[in-house]
Amino acid sequence: MRRGGARNALLAATYSFGAVKAHLGYGVDKGAGSDAPRNPGNPYALASPPAGSLDSTDLLLGVTASSGPHTLMASWIRKDDRTALDRDARQFALGHRYALSRRTDTYVALSRITNRNGAGYTAGNASEAGTGSRAVSAGIRHQF
């Protein structure tokens, strides 16, 4: 995706070991506006609101394990800020899905993010940028 001077690249892969699936993602973000969407405010009340990185890499390692209607999920993400500010972040998440039918399931997920050197990333989800270092998501999903 390209926005203004932003350049983003993402390589992702999954590998199935039967009921267990491994997930890998590696991204490179360069330029103004290339950083992940973040809470535009100052959620951690820092002396000055943190700005996004102009040069970073992201690594995601994940695993899902299914048994009957249950699927357990875990992921670890590392954001490596390559600028002199070195504003890195790490996030760990756990989740559970329960299949109600072939196309409908319920889910719950918990995550925690740790910022370093004044980074201001928040734990959020696909529909909300987050407001702090922890997040809980729960819902029902139906696939059409």
Q: What's this model's pTM, rounded to 2 decimal places? A: 0.80
Name the residue among 116, 108, 111, 117 with its Cα closest to residue 132: 111
What's the confidence (pLDDT) of residue 41?
A: 63
Q: Which amino acid is located at 110 in the chain?
A: L
Contact 118, 88 (CB under 8 A): no
Residue 62 has pLDDT above 90, yes or no: yes
Residue 94 has pLDDT above 80, yes or no: yes
Q: How many CA atoms lie within 13 A of 129 on its CB side?
A: 11
What's the confidence (pLDDT) of residue 30?
A: 86
* Average pLDDT over all residues of the chain: 86
Buried b (16+ CB within 10 A) or exposed e, 59-69: ebebebeeeee
Apex 91 CA angle, 37 and 58, nearest 5 = 60
